[in-house]
Amino acid sequence: MSSVNQNPIPIYLISPSGAIAPDAPVQSAIAQLEQAGFSPRLDRAALRMRQRFAGSDTDRAAAFARAASQDARIVMITRGGYGMTRLLPLLDYRALARSGKQWVGLSDFTAFQLAMLARARAVTWAGPALMDDFAIEPDQELDDITLGTFCEAMDGRLEAVGFRCSGASGVEARGTLWGGNLSIVCSLLGTPYFPKVDGGILFLEDVNEHPYRIERMLTQLLHAGVLDRQKAILCGYFNRYKLSPNDRGFDMPAVLKWLRAQTRTPIITGLPFGHASPKLTLPHGAQVALATEGRTCYLILDEHHSHHDH
């Protein structure tokens, strides 16, 4: 997978949220993408800086239109951070959906993905970001699973993924796969950018958030009726938080135990998605089938959500 492809696949890179730090290893991340068989190109505003953002709101919103009109089929974000929700009223979701691009990213980009589903019923891709997954040391290897599922997803060959799970066995469900970063999912509740998904499969991850904040957000989704309306909740990585002595045993397992007592929707942990490796590339907004058998969870993706359909 790390051999140079004779026909490299173009990727257009945009920065819709936080600025890339001046000393960040952008060039080595781009080199890694090239080595993996891609031909990456940075949007002209991708390295801008304005306060903590990658350029002004207008700059960042305009990059979406530029991405939609250029040739590369894949549009990937450089990084997350904060800033996407500011842009939500500025985007033409139907035009962006009509462009047929495969929009890829995660974290703050969840806001775009939810809005694309809510406003244009469009499928996007929850997957890697340039600086999160490709900015590694030259002597390091890219994660095989991350790169492999990304490549397969992008060219329509990803039909199913399986992973070690726990929390619910014997679950069988079919529905819209949606979600992403929990903080962002909750920050769209009550707005026109929150998709109405009944009978869906909601996947969630978060980083740097104490379990009490995670629980408060899950409680919001619970009280809003969102959790009860899903067929399954899939938990990705919840990591990089710090417990305190005052928690006295309150931790992520305690959060999940409490939540399971509040909803009948099965809560399955172990999804390889979030701010860590390996990271699957998943079709956000697509119909999928889910099955758990013992400690393995399978997600079966419908092939017609590949780019060939757009």
CA pair distance 302, 66, nearest whole angstrom: 29
Active site residue 310: no
| Residues within the interface to its own copies (CB under 8 A) | 18-19, 21, 49-53, 82, 85-86, 88-89, 183, 186-194, 212, 215-217, 219-220, 223-224, 226, 246-250, 254, 258
The distance of closest approach from Cβ of residue 294 to its own copies in the complex, given in angstroms and rounded to an integer, is 31
**Which amino acid would we find at residue 121?**
R
Nearer residue to its own copies within complex by CB, 188 or 282:
188
Q: Is 304 assigned a catalytic role?
A: no
Q: Measured from the CB atom, is 54 or 74 closer to its own copies?
A: 54
In angstroms, give the least distance from the CB of 211 to its own copies: 9
Given the residues 205, 284, 305, 306, select the one marked as catalytic.
205
**Residue of 17, 113, 115, 120 whose CA lies nearest to 59:** 17
Percent of the chain that is helix, strand, coil (3-state, to 5)? 35, 25, 40
Query: Quick one: how far is CA 27 from the chain centroid?
Result: 23
Write down the catalytic residue from 17, 99, 107, 187: 107
Q: Is the Cβ–Cβ distance between 56 and 50 less than 8 Å?
A: yes
Active site residue 107: yes
Q: What minimum distance in Å lies between the beta carbon of 153 and its own copies? A: 29
Provide the minimum distance between the beta carbon of 306 and its own copies in the complex, in angstroms, as a whole number: 32
From CA 30, how far away is CA 136, in angstroms rounded? 10
Residue 23 has phi, psi (to 5 degrees) of -95, 10
**Given the complex with its own copies, which of 212 and 298 has the nearer CB atom?**
212
The residues carrying an active-site annotation are 107, 205, 275
